[in-house]
Amino acid sequence: MHARKLFIGRNIRGIREGTGLTQAKFAEQLGISTSYLNQIENNQRHVTAPVLLALAEIFAVDIATLSENDSDRLLADMAEAIADPIFKGQQPSGQDLNLVTQNTPSVARAFLTMHQALRRAGEQLAELDDTLARSGGLNEPTPYEEVRDFFHYINNYVHELDVAAEQFAGQLKGTTRNRVRTLADHLERQHRVRVAIGGSATDAQIIRRYDPVSRVLSINPKAAPSTHAFQLAHQICQLEHADIIEQITREAGFRTEDAAAVCRIGLANYFAGSALLPYGEFLNAAGELRHDLELLADRFGASIEQVSHRLSTLQRPGMKGIPFFFARVDQAGNITKRHSATKLQFARFGSTCPLWNVHKAFETPDRILRQLAETPDGARYLCLATAIAKPSGGYRDPVQRYALAIGCEIRHASALVYADDLDIKSKAAFEPIGISCRICERSDCHQRAVPPLKRRLSVDHNSRDTIPYAFE
């Protein structure tokens, strides 16, 4: 297998400009010609091993970090956007897309923002005519969407908080077997915050409530112990790492304070998950247990959801885990949590593909379902799904029901216990799935709910297939 060629011209240019050297002087230091360096910086030539070693020795560059950028993800998003039928006959080549994402990522992001606004407007015109009449800001992302995109483009890995959480977990390790008690003791000892399991959080809708005046943190007693620990760790982050959260939020440059507020919650949650499932220990355990979700949950005293979400965040430079996608889906098919470290990108709008096994999970709760799936771009995945319920109280209290989906590209399947008896080499074993009906181009899907956006319909009154129309 050939090694992947490294086109990191923008990174090299940034290193050179940081030194204040001209191309000629920088090339001389590296032992290469000026023209070669110019070609590298413009992504016309890839970076060779001798150049990388020279960068490390002469300029103290961490080689491992050079390829850790979002260009691959950005390229995948650009390719998805440019495949929109609205650009029919005007699609640039793969080489052109690569040049844009590598050399001018800000232009690529601006293009994606415009395309997302266009798609959002199209779906709203198709589905929400009445809403269009009520609101004038529909082409702008909601605060939730803005935060979702923020985590997407940082690969759902926040280094500062992840490292801080790992250090925190190391300090508390071995103090007691009761993690909830350990975290509660830390809050009382370090912050004079008293934890009350119950207190003012007895309402079925309230999981955590903190009173900064009385310094009492109330936790819903009906929640699972893993939830108790998570909420305590969340509060610790707010008290101890508010400065890091504020810096990250400020640098993100959110359009509104609402988005910034949502992001602060997301970052504190990120710390909580990282503290309960510390990076190095969890990464090693995941490999040892072959990513068995239930065994991992048992070892760390966590929920299946916490374990699944954490697996999708193991993207630390130099210590990456298997790239996973993760999603949480409600019974209506809406995605309420999503992240993908893989090529698979979830639909930003509308419901999910009905052929995806996550929908079947509701039929068989407490079981982990497996699916070999292939997306329209030809990528193949091992998909896992399981249904969960979160009771919040008595008979009349609501019960939250979700299905969790987690998976990886098939080339990683051997590292998962779930693939042991699956025929991953058989093309026939893979089921065709899409992203969402409105952006899926499959013409032979028997479960299609609506035609793709921007495609002309063809209706034959003398013939009827599984769906009552075709499209051009």
**What pLDDT shows up at residue 201?**
54
Instruction: Annotate 279-309 with DSSP letters as a single string.
Output: HHHHHHHHHHTTT-HHHHHHHHT--HHHHHH
Residue 440 in domain: no
* Between 74 and 429, residue with greater pLDDT: 429
Q: State yes or no: pLDDT of 359 exceeds 70.
A: yes
For residue range 4-38, what is the model confidence (pLDDT) as tens digits? 566 777 778 888 888 889 999 998 888 898 888 88
Q: State yes or no: pLDDT of 137 exceeds 50.
A: no
Same domain, 107 and 87: yes
Residue 98 in domain: yes
For residue range 29-63, what is the model confidence (pLDDT) as tens digits? 888 988 888 888 887 787 887 888 788 778 877 76
Domain ends where: 117, 140, 163?
Answer: 140
Q: State yes or no: pLDDT of 311 exceeds 90.
A: yes
Instruction: Please state, in angstroms and rounded to a whole number, the distance separating the CA atoms of residues 60 and 189.
Output: 42
Instruction: Please state, in angstroms and rounded to a whole number, the distance separating the CA atoms of residues 215 and 330.
Output: 35
Same domain, 264 and 163: yes
Same domain, 40 and 128: no
Same domain, 164 and 135: no
pLDDT band at 351 (very low <50, low <70, confident <90, very high): low
Specify whether the CB–CB gap between 410 and 392 falls below 8 A. no
pTM for this predicted structure: 0.70
- Written as one letter, the residue type at 446 is H
Across 216-239, average pLDDT: 93
**What pLDDT shows up at residue 155?**
82
Beta strands in 102-259 (DSSP E): 194-197, 208-211, 216-219
* Between 80 and 339, residue with greater pLDDT: 339
- Written as one letter, the residue type at 458 is S
- Written as one letter, the residue type at 80 is E
Instruction: Please state, in angstroms and rounded to a whole number, the distance separating the CA atoms of residues 311 and 305.
Output: 10
The angle that helices 257-276 and 304-311 make with each other, rounded to 10 degrees, is: 100
**What pLDDT shows up at residue 57?**
78
**What pLDDT shows up at residue 76?**
66
Same domain, 76 and 88: yes
Range of 37's domain?
9-66
Same domain, 136 and 146: no
For residue range 198-213, what is the model confidence (pLDDT) as tens digits? 766 556 678 899 999 9
43: domain CATH number is: 1.10.260.40
Residue 158 in domain: yes
Residue 441: closest CA among 400, 465, 472: 472
State which H helix or E strand residue 455 sits in: none
Same domain, 111 and 44: no
**Residue found under tokens 């910086």:** 41
**What pLDDT shows up at residue 465?**
65
Edge to edge, the sheet with strand 194-197 lists 194-197, 216-219, 208-211
Structurally, the chain folds into a number of domains equal to: 3
**What pLDDT shows up at residue 381?**
95
Cα separations in angstroms, 251 against 162, 203, 254, 288, 451: 18, 37, 8, 37, 40
Domain ends where: 259, 276, 293?
Answer: 276
**What pLDDT shows up at residue 133?**
35
Residue 33 in domain: yes
| Candidate ranges 29-38, 190-199, 308-317, 430-439; pick with highest mean pLDDT | 308-317
Same domain, 54 and 87: no
Q: State yes or no: pLDDT of 129 exceeds 50.
A: no
Residue 78 in domain: yes
Percent of the chain with pLDDT over 70: 81
Alpha helices in 312-437, H assignment, sequence order: none
Torsion sign (Cα): 74, 79, 82, 85: negative
Residue 287 in domain: no
Same domain, 166 and 250: yes
Contacts of residue 127, defined as CB under 8 A and 6 or more positions apart, other chains included, come to 350
Instruction: Please state, in angstroms and rounded to a whole number, the distance separating the CA atoms of residues 347 and 153.
Output: 16
| Candidate ranges 46-60, 203-217, 288-302, 336-350; pick with highest mean pLDDT | 288-302
Residue 375 in domain: no
Across 127-155, average pLDDT: 65
257-274 as b/e, with b when 16 or more CB fall inside 10 Å? eebbebbbebbbbbbbbb
pLDDT band at 223 (very low <50, low <70, confident <90, very high): confident
Across 446-465, average pLDDT: 68
pLDDT band at 281 (very low <50, low <70, confident <90, very high): very high
Specify whether the CB–CB gap between 5 and 60 falls below 8 A. no
Domain ends where: 98, 119, 140?
Answer: 140
Residue 210 in domain: yes
* Between 237 and 129, residue with greater pLDDT: 237
Across 133-150, average pLDDT: 68
373, β-bridge pairs: 381, 431
* Between 51 and 245, residue with greater pLDDT: 245
Across 445-452, average pLDDT: 74
Q: Helix-strand-coil percent breakdown of the chain, rounded to 5?
A: 50, 15, 40
Same domain, 175 and 187: yes
As a whole number, the mean pLDDT across the chain is: 83
162: domain CATH number is: 1.10.10.2910
Same domain, 197 and 264: yes
Same domain, 113 and 191: no
